[in-house]
A and B are shown apart, each in its own frame.
Chain A
Amino acid sequence: MDALDKKILNRTQRGIPISEQPFTDIAKELDCTEEQVINKLQNMLEDGLLSRFGPMYDAASLGGAFTLAAMQVPEERFEQVTEIVNAFSQVAHNYKRQHRLNMWFVVACESQQEIQSVIKEIEQKSSLSVYDFPKEEEFYVGLYLPV
């Protein structure tokens, strides 16, 4: 990455304007050409330096219900329980974390009822308790990773 790549990446992480020619707006701010902004963004995307470029949608606004759930899984059963949990298509993300509650996953469903039934099914199949931590308030979602 050269200096201009870094400037473009840092600037566009913060959100680009909605306008007919947004890359011209960015180019003016960074004192370069629209063509440079477009080429460099395309290259960064192709190269995998960007995982995506475009509108970030709030999943909840698209309809549906979400929760963060956690379990305390005995180490000797970890693989087996991972299989049980991951088999649910409604489980979007699942992470092993270093804590007594060592499995944390996001459940994404069409409705609250479906969330409750997925949780119940996981409890039945694993014979373990599932802790349910639905969001009560969202303060921020986003991330700025300066390069």
Chain B
Amino acid sequence: MLDSTYQSRERKKAPLTAIEREFILLTQNGLPIVSKPYHLLAEKLNMSVNDVLAMSEDLLERGVIRRIAAVPNHYRAGYTFNGMTVWDVQDDEVKNYGALIGRLPFVSHCYQRPRCLPDWNYNLFAMIHGKNAEQISEYRTQIKELLKDVLQTGKHNTNDMLTSSKILKKTGLRLQAKKE
């Protein structure tokens, strides 16, 4: 059923150059929605358009930029339900199956995290989103079906779903202007 094995993405952790930082500061609030957005950025950065395009490609390849995209407001798009599903997956299977679960269209974040025994036996976290409670429950069932052969058996529960009942704080993560 696994159509590809999990390959660790070797991300170049090269520190950002000064011009890359400037590019990020200019674009972290958004890309200009104009006919030639990179021309506008090139002017501000005092670079050629080709160099700005090449730098953008490089940041994308290195995983610094995940993608350049529209992000809909969840609530306005009708996606008002979310659940943090957590799973106790056999250690030697968690990477393969994490990659598989991460590819499901309704999963927004998928991570392997350490267990904290005896209080917390789950090592795979997958955040799911839907338009109603039935939908996220159905998504959880789909994940359970995919993981059925690799969940730990024992005295603990093999999975759980934590729904959020309140946002207590939410601030964006931003690169700060360079502190010299």
List the interface of chain A (C-beta within 8 A of B): 9, 12-16, 18-24, 34, 38, 41-42, 44-45, 48-59, 61-63, 68, 70, 82, 85-86, 91-99, 101, 103-105, 108, 131-145, 147
Contact = CB atoms under 8 A, between A and B. Distances in A.
Interface string B24-41: 100111110111111100
The residue among B33, B36, B113 with the most chain A CB atoms within 10 A of its own CB is B33
B interface, over-half SS: mixed
Contacts of A48: 73, 76
A20 B65 contact: no
A20 B74 CA distance: 30
Nearest to A16: B68
A61 B166 contact: no
Given A38-B35, A57-B64, A141-B108, A136 B71 contact: no
B39 A57 contact: no
B89 to A, nearest CB: 12
B79 to A, nearest CB: 5
B73 A50 contact: yes
Interface of B: 6, 8, 11, 13, 15-16, 24, 27-31, 33-39, 49, 53, 56-57, 59-60, 62-74, 76-79, 84, 94-95, 98-99, 101-103, 105, 107-114, 116, 119-120, 125, 129, 160, 162-173, 175
The residue among B15, B16, B165 with the most chain A CB atoms within 10 A of its own CB is B165
Contacts of A86: 168-169
A82 B162 CA distance: 18
A41 B56 CA distance: 21
B170 A93 contact: yes
A15 to B, nearest CB: 4
Given A19-B53, A56-B67, A98-B163, A51 B72 contact: yes
Given A54-B30, A62-B16, A137-B112, A147 B24 contact: no
